[in-house]
Amino acid sequence: MLLKGSGPGMITRMPRPEPPAELVEYLVRSCPLTPPEAARVVADVLGYFSEAAPDFVRRRHRELKERGLTNDQVFARISAEMPQRRYMPPELSLRQLRRIVYG
């Protein structure tokens, strides 16, 4: 998970939870990876996709502006990239979870 750091434009990562064991086992069976390598790959991919949509937009805006793109170019690029991303689901309370199931 990404968090804003203390300096301008700084991003720091929170410790990641243990990657799903069944996914690690699948990668070990299907790829030439050791269990620790597979766990690291899974953690890296999950970390990459743990960024919230507003954080992604702000980060990409900053990166693309640093490359010299205009705002029109930046927002067009971000708009095209967003459907390719996956975002963290919202945190739901127990009550919200129950309402999803029981209405």
Q: What is the per-residue pLDDT across 1-36, written as a single tens digit (0 to 9) for each?
A: 444 444 444 444 445 567 889 999 999 999 999 999
Rg (CA), the chain: 18
Q: What is the pLDDT of residues 56-93, one digit of tens each?
A: 999 999 999 999 999 999 999 999 999 888 877 778 89
Q: Which residues pair with 63 in a beta bridge?
A: none
Distance CA 5, CA 9 (A): 8
Structural domain boundaries of the chain?
A: 16-48, 52-103
Contact 60, 85 (CB under 8 A): no
